[in-house]
Amino acid sequence: MSRYIATRALRGATGLVREADEMLTKVIAEKGADTPVAFPNTAYYLPTVLGLTGMEVQTLGDLVPVVERAKSLLHPVPPSALWKPYLGDTLDAGVATLLAAETIEGVRFVRGTQPERWPGFEMGGGTEYPHLEDGHLNGPIDDIQLRSWGIQLVDGRMPGFAAIVGCAKSNEVAVQLVRELQQRSILIFLSGNVNGRSIIHQLQEEGVEMGYDTYIVPFGTDTISAIYALGFATRSALTFGGMKGGQPREILLYNKFRVFAFVLALGEVDDLKYAAAAGAISYGFPVIADTVIPEIHPTGVTRYEHVISMPFNEIEAKDDLERAKKMVQKAIEVRGVKIQVTEVPVPVPYGSAFEGEVVRKNDMRIEFGGKYSRAFEYLCMAGMDEVEDGKISLVGPGFEEVPETGHMDLAIVIRVAGRKMQQDFEPVLERQVHYFINGASGIQHIGQRDIAWIRISKNAAEKGFNLNHFGEILIARFHADFGAIVDKVEVTLYTEPDQIEEWLEKARAAYDFRNRRLADLTDEAVEEFYSCTLCQSFAPNHVCVVTPQRLGLCGAYNWLDCKASFRINPTGPNQPIVKGTCIDPVKGYWTGSTEFTRQASHGTVEDVTMYSIMENPMTACGCFECIVMLIPEANGVMVVSREDPSMTPAGMTFSTLAGMAGGGLQTPGVMGVGKYYLTSPKFISADGGFKRVVWMSSFLKESMAEEFKAVAEREGVPDLLDRIADETVCTEVDGLVEYMAEKEHPALAMEFMF
């Protein structure tokens, strides 16, 4: 907390409260305490006073206790010896300022000096004042408009509001600021001045229409009229938040978490502006100034920084217009306003219906990756200041010069930034590139990382699809689908050989890092597992517990996916399960996972182990990639993959077995799992681990040969896979036992499974 800000805010507040006090005394003496006081067309009296104090002001006399309350909130200016003035004093001063400001505006309405007169001023829609014939500014927003805008603020169509106080560097900058905000559907409130000039003057001179119709509301040319912005915010909480007058804490919190507003302080900041800013901060609204002022970075009262100073002339940009743009971007970022991108701007149809589309060689305009060229995609996170949202760059030539059905190298590098982004989410997001790009009609995407393979059809190329459109797609979709964790996305497409070489090295280093990170990610190393109840729609009592070393049985959700999914959709099917106390580290019992499963399975599953097939095994819905089943005679288990239609030593095919393994039923000895769980050190580790596998569908053996080889080595039996039978060896128990004896399968020498 800056002592400078505290001092000035306290001084400003003290001055304004005194002014309010004097004005009130005078007007009561002149007009009497019973004179009615009201803002036009509102059922909320003086709304900020009502919200923060519960006082329903109807007459001048009712304002006396309001001013008294304001006085009681004033604390002495901190002496120079006190280095850390308590933030609370400053916030109190802010609230005192708001009470005083609303008192003053109330008095002005009584005196007929509000709304501010402005002969000839025309507005497109505004609060109606039937008695005023000539031009005027808007004054407070009426209840009708509050409800209409409120609905849009609450449902998210309107991300928030910007209260602009003061005067921009130039008329040009003023217009640009307003346009930038309008483009994002942010509501704009104008007030204040610097040496008599207000942004309202600037916009009027430039012919910008103001009024409800254009979402630009000119409150007044003094700082005091900024109170109408907070009156609007307060009434939002009262109307849409179900709060009552006199619930200041609830109202302020409502605004902090639900009303995405911020203050842009343009030009010199005087004591009163500091005081008013302190009031805004109480509502959780940060202040961004275009001059040099002390900053308040620690977060708390607001969601992120409290006060940001962006001296306008020092913003790095090519001209003032770009500076204005950057200032708005910064404001949005500091407040955490989320902007919705609705459409994917590409010249071909876009939607998930096109995901499975194949582009055949003959229909192909060009391909990247595959047999003849290289393509890779790499997503990494960067600092908020290092990513320019929405920027797409192409480094190197496009594919226009490449002959038909030709090929070229391509690197897609995506840089994302977000306050809630974590490095662990990089691979989760990167894998989405496949789905996102595939959504475009006429584009085929296969693979991921450095085995990506992309084709663009002739048809799509004829419609004008070019490399930049990959950027458009990715930016739009990351914002739309992952907006909860991603604030900024920038895409660079490289076709230039040296650059590709350089980035490929970086990407491979990252892939390698991620692989090792995954290997280090053990069940012991984390505090939380994640649930997955996505399948309860058809298996109502099934719960997947996803741990770092046991991915979801469908193979589609690993622990990191679930973690990201929870951030994106906090009420969704992936909820964190705090592990709690470990009851049995070998079988894998934790208090947390047991309790969660019991509750989410609606009492069907009493107890669940993470690592045993024999004791309270985890249930399955029906989406499993393979079924693991005990073969008692072999003292081991068989693994059948869902691709395998053949008979198995259990005397049943996959589809028959699926009935036993699925449906959320706990059947000791039978378990549906994801195939990558087979390679986990925690794969039925309580029962002996991978060495228990005596039979396995040849499809699995072949498709995961490399992975299993590593597992066999880890388990100390390098040729284990050769000792495991498959459907080409035998499909009944006798043959299996014979084969095992012949191959000296290690399971024969292990202790009995039950």
Partner 1 sequence: MPVEIPKEKWTGQVREVTLGATAADGGTRSHTVTVGGETTLPFLYFEGQMPHRPLVALEIKDRKPDDWSLLLEKAWGDAMAGPGDWAKAAEEAGADLICLTFYLTGPDGEDNTAANAKTAIRKVLDATGLPVAACGPGQAEIDNELIVAVAEEAAGERLLLGLCEDRNYRTIVAAALGHGHLVQARTAMDVNLAKQLNILINDMQLPLDRIVMDPTTGALGYGIEYGYSVMERLRIAALQGDSMTQLPMIVTPGEEAWKAKESKVGEGVPEAWGDWEARAVNWEVLTATSLIESCADIVVLRHPESVRRVHAMIDAMVGA
CA distance linking residue 394 with residue 375, whole number of Å: 15
Nearest approach in angstroms of CB 528 to partner 1 is: 20
The answer to whether the CB of 309 falls within 8 A of the CB of 50 is no
The answer to whether the CB of 129 falls within 8 A of the CB of 39 is no
Q: Measured from the CB atom, is 186 or 456 closer to partner 1?
A: 186
In this structure, what are the phi and psi dihedrals at residue 456, rounded to the nearest 5 degrees? -115, 130
Q: Measured from the CB atom, is 121 or 254 closer to partner 1?
A: 254
Nearest approach in angstroms of CB 239 to partner 1 is: 6
Does residue 572 bind partner 1 (CB under 8 A)? yes
Nearest approach in angstroms of CB 281 to partner 1 is: 23
Nearest approach in angstroms of CB 483 to partner 1 is: 14
Question: Contacts with partner 1 in 598-627 (CB under 8 A)?
Answer: 602-603
In this structure, what are the phi and psi dihedrals at residue 323, rounded to the nearest 5 degrees? -60, -45
Question: Contacts with partner 1 in 118-147 (CB under 8 A)?
Answer: 147
The answer to whether the CB of 158 falls within 8 A of the CB of 187 is yes
Question: DSSP state, 603?
Answer: T
CA distance linking residue 188 with residue 212, whole number of Å: 10
Does residue 345 bind partner 1 (CB under 8 A)? no
**Binding flags for partner 1, 212-251, as an x/- string (CB under 8 A):** ---------------------------xxxx---------
Nearest approach in angstroms of CB 153 to partner 1 is: 8
- The one-letter amino acid at 747: A
Q: Measured from the CB atom, is 540 or 576 closer to partner 1?
A: 540
Tokens 């799509």 belong to residue = 460
By CB under 8 A, the count of residues binding partner 1 is 24
Q: Measured from the CB atom, is 254 or 260 closer to partner 1?
A: 254
Q: Measured from the CB atom, is 342 or 362 closer to partner 1?
A: 342
Tokens 């950027």 belong to residue = 471
Q: Measured from the CB atom, is 240 or 699 closer to partner 1?
A: 240
Does residue 689 bind partner 1 (CB under 8 A)? no
- For 58, residues 6+ apart whose C-beta sits below 8 A from its C-beta are 36, 37, 38, 45
Does residue 427 bind partner 1 (CB under 8 A)? no
Count other Cβ atoms within 10 Å, centred on residue 442: 24
- CA 490-494-500 angle, to 5 degrees, is 125
Return the closest-CA partner of residue 196 out of 169, 218, 177, 221: 221
Nearest approach in angstroms of CB 350 to partner 1 is: 18
Does residue 155 bind partner 1 (CB under 8 A)? yes
CA distance linking residue 30 with residue 538, whole number of Å: 75
Question: DSSP state, 390?
Answer: T
Q: Measured from the CB atom, is 198 or 533 closer to partner 1?
A: 533
Does residue 571 bind partner 1 (CB under 8 A)? yes
Q: In this chain, which of 154, 582, 647, 729 binds partner 1, going by CB under 8 A? A: 154
Nearest approach in angstroms of CB 614 to partner 1 is: 30
Does residue 597 bind partner 1 (CB under 8 A)? no
Cα 41 to its chain centre, rounded Å, is: 38
Q: Measured from the CB atom, is 158 or 627 closer to partner 1?
A: 158
Q: In this chain, which of 152, 432, 468, 499 binds partner 1, going by CB under 8 A? A: 152
- For 752, residues 6+ apart whose C-beta sits below 8 A from its C-beta are 635
Q: In this chain, which of 88, 156, 351, 585 binds partner 1, going by CB under 8 A? A: 156
Q: Measured from the CB atom, is 390 or 540 closer to partner 1?
A: 540
Calculate the CA dihedral of residues 59, 211, 155, 257 and round it to 10 degrees.
-60
For residue 584, what is the enclosing H or E element?
strand 582-584
Return the closest-CA partner of residue 121 out of 209, 38, 190, 245: 209
Does residue 536 bind partner 1 (CB under 8 A)? yes
**Binding flags for partner 1, 190-209, as an x/- string (CB under 8 A):** --------------------
Count other Cβ atoms within 10 Å, centred on residue 516: 10
Binding site for partner 1 (CB under 8 A): 147, 150-157, 239-242, 254, 258, 533, 536-537, 540, 571-573, 602-603
